[in-house]
Amino acid sequence: MQIQLENLGALKRRLDVTLPRSQIEAEVESRLKRIARTAKMHGFRPGKIPLKVIAQTYGAQVRQEVLGDAVQKSFAEAVRSRNLRVAGFPQFEPQPSPESDADFHYSAVFEVYPEVQLGDLSSVTIERPVHEVTEADVDHTIEVLRKQRTSFVPVARGAAQGDRLTLDFQGTLDGQPFEGGQGQGVTVILGEGRLLPAFEEKLLSMKAGQTQRFEVEFPEDARWKEVAGKTVTFEVSVHAVEEPRLPPLDADFAKALGVADGDLDKMRSEIRANVEREVKQRLQARLKERVMEALLAAASLELPQALVQAEQHRLAEAARRDLEGRGVRVQGAPLPLEMFAEQAERRVKLGLILAELVKRHGLHARPEQVRAIVEDFAQSYERPEEVVKWYYSKPERLNDAEALALEENVVRWVLAQAKVVDQPVSFDELTGK
């Protein structure tokens, strides 16, 4: 086997390989002989078919298989002998042989993994978000849980902010209905911002059973272009006005949250544990994001386009599945890959950086780390021990936990290199509650 390696760019390489014809022909003949032992053909006894007949029937197919196997094997040997790390899939092309040369020639064009320059992190400052859960945070969470279980009761008074209204409405522009201007049995909560402010203002003080006619001026950027910037007349009939009632903080409320005996102290303790777990996860997620941004900024490397393009395809496929899961058909309108170019480049670059860090500094996930992460996952379930058993029943189920453990090791290593400044974060900002 003869090999020539050519650099076509920073990462692009070309291998020209020559395989002796005698090697190819010997393997073709060997395979044809194996076929001849078991082949069945009309007019011949098994094992007595002439090799020439076998070659006429199976020769082309066998030769193609032999060439394919020879290319794959020789390519693997060639890149291994030259310590090349191939990124993505190579493009193989058979090359025409000169008249006097009966050997088989092919070329393979591919990219190699880049050298990753990690940069100096000692001059990098990373802000680490911190928050200690307080009793006020627990109180706030309990109030959120109460609001999620709000009930509404009918009232005879006029509508106020926070009330739930059930109504019919008909809008007309110059006496004619317009798209989106009608509704029957529509339920809205005043103050949630679902309605135009000018429309909602007219509903205030209206009572159940009341019908009212009024004008509303639509903004210039209204969703319906037909009425943008114009004054529309609405006729509204209110069928029900209901005010919100929060559930009392009692044993029934605790039972609704899964505390079987209705003990309020136990309920509060469980809510605090959940809040602390959520806060910890959000703090870790923010810190990890800042660490990754620091690595991206500090590292220098060329990106193999084969990996970027493969990642674009993966992201597009994931987006397609997500849209179809929401009932949006995209079969006839494939998502353009350019939409995912920036995200794909970021993911590939970060993946290469993390792989280099793990290899260079031995940051692989340890079994005890994986176990701790799995047990933490399981805490949000009713029977944590069963969840842990489920994860460990199949090794592939541990992949996500192993990836998280690896990322934790990277984060810890980066924080040890960089300057770290604690940044207090409020509960509202952290949780969005």
Could you tell me the pTM of the whole model?
Answer: 0.76
- Looking from the CA of 207 toward its CB, the CA atoms found within 13 Å total 5
Are 79 and 160 within one domain?
Answer: no
Q: Higher pLDDT residue, 38 or 206?
A: 206
Are 306 and 204 within one domain?
Answer: no
**pLDDT at position 396 over 80:** yes
**pLDDT at position 81 over 60:** yes
User: Residue holding tokens 């011949």?
Assistant: 44
Domain CATH for 29: 3.30.70.1050
Domain boundary among 200, 215, 245: 245
User: Could you report the per-residue pLDDT of 294-332, keeping only the tens digit for each?
Assistant: 999 999 999 999 999 999 999 998 888 888 888 777 766
Residue 361 lies in a domain: yes
**pLDDT at position 48 over 90:** no
β-bridge partners, 211: 237
Average pLDDT over residues 9-34: 91
The number of folded domains in the chain is 3
Are 331 and 402 within one domain?
Answer: yes
Task: Using DSSP, state whether 161 is helix, strand or coil.
Answer: coil
User: What pLDDT does residue 292 have?
Assistant: 95
Predicted confidence band of residue 47 (pLDDT cuts 50, 70, 90):
confident
User: What pLDDT does residue 25 have?
Assistant: 87
User: Could you report the per-residue pLDDT of 141-161, keeping only the tens digit for each?
Assistant: 999 999 999 999 999 999 999
* Residue range(s) defining the domain that contains residue 88: 2-112
Predicted confidence band of residue 333 (pLDDT cuts 50, 70, 90):
low
Are 301 and 328 within one domain?
Answer: yes
**pLDDT at position 202 over 60:** yes
Are 288 and 421 within one domain?
Answer: yes
Domain boundary among 189, 215, 245: 245
d(CA 156, CA 33): 96
User: What pLDDT does residue 43 have?
Assistant: 79
d(CA 61, CA 63): 6
User: What pLDDT does residue 367 have?
Assistant: 94
With pLDDT > 70 as the criterion, what percentage of the chain qualifies? 97
User: Could you report the per-residue pLDDT of 334-369, keeping only the tens digit for each?
Assistant: 788 899 999 999 999 999 999 999 999 999 999 999
**pLDDT at position 99 over 60:** no
Residue 40 lies in a domain: yes
Q: Higher pLDDT residue, 416 or 223?
A: 416
Domain CATH for 183: 3.10.50.40
Are 335 and 231 within one domain?
Answer: no
Do the beta carbons of residue 330 and residue 324 sit within 8 Å?
Answer: yes
| Range in 179-183, 222-226, 230-234 the model is least confident about | 222-226
d(CA 381, CA 394): 19
Q: Chain-wide mean pLDDT for the chain?
A: 91
Residue 386 lies in a domain: yes
Predicted confidence band of residue 54 (pLDDT cuts 50, 70, 90):
confident
Report the greatest alpha carbon distance in the chain.
Answer: 102
User: What pLDDT does residue 423 have?
Assistant: 96
Are 207 and 272 within one domain?
Answer: no
Average pLDDT over residues 53-73: 90
Do the beta carbons of residue 225 and residue 145 sit within 8 Å?
Answer: no
Predicted confidence band of residue 108 (pLDDT cuts 50, 70, 90):
very high
User: What pLDDT does residue 90 have?
Assistant: 93
Mapping DSSP onto H, E and C, the string for 99-143 reads CCCCCEEEEEEEEECCCCECCCCCCCEEEEEECCCCHHHHHHHHH
| Range in 4-18, 215-229, 300-314 the model is least confident about | 215-229
User: Could you report the per-residue pLDDT of 17-26, keeping only the tens digit for each?
Assistant: 998 888 888 9
| Range in 29-43, 97-111, 203-217, 253-267 the model is least confident about | 97-111
Residue 118 lies in a domain: no
d(CA 344, CA 350): 10
User: What pLDDT does residue 247 have?
Assistant: 95
Are 352 and 229 within one domain?
Answer: no
Are 264 and 223 within one domain?
Answer: no
With pLDDT > 90 as the criterion, what percentage of the chain qualifies? 72
Are 277 and 224 within one domain?
Answer: no
**b/e per residue, 318-340, with b = 16+ CB within 10 A?**
eebeeeeeeeeeeeeeeeeeeeb
Domain boundary among 201, 220, 245: 245
Domain CATH for 129: 1.10.3120.10
Cα dist from 36 to 61, 70, 134, whole Å: 14, 22, 81
Are 408 and 259 within one domain?
Answer: yes
Average pLDDT over residues 153-173: 96
Residue 318 lies in a domain: yes
Are 196 and 331 within one domain?
Answer: no
